[in-house]
Amino acid sequence: MKLATSKRKNDYTFPKPQFTIDNNMRDYSDDPFFKKKFEQAKASLEKCPIPDRLVTLAKRNLAIAKSRAALCESGNVINPG
């Protein structure tokens, strides 16, 4: 992925990902490997939950990125950091 930099504003833009979604892809929701990993992740989060402040910050940053993507003419997301 090529990074384009604007020296005037010092904004970093990332090109839109180009991929195809395959609707015929196998459903892995019943696969034992993924079920085991899901249970391990669930147990980890119960033991050590993600702080509410971090969740709020992540949601805010996601909202900023979405609003900037909507404003950007080329469709590229501008990195808020």
The reported pLDDT for the residue numbered 16 is: 65
Query: What average pLDDT does the segment 21-48 reach?
Result: 89
* Residue 76 · residue 13 · CB < 8 Å: yes
For the chain, strand residue ranges (E) read 4-6, 11-14, 77-78
pLDDT of 49 > 80? The answer is: yes
The SS3 of residue 14 is: strand
Domain ranges of the chain: 37-81
Sequence-ordered list of residues with C-beta below 8 angstroms from that of 69, at least 6 positions apart, any chain: 75, 76, 77, 78
The reported pLDDT for the residue numbered 37 is: 94
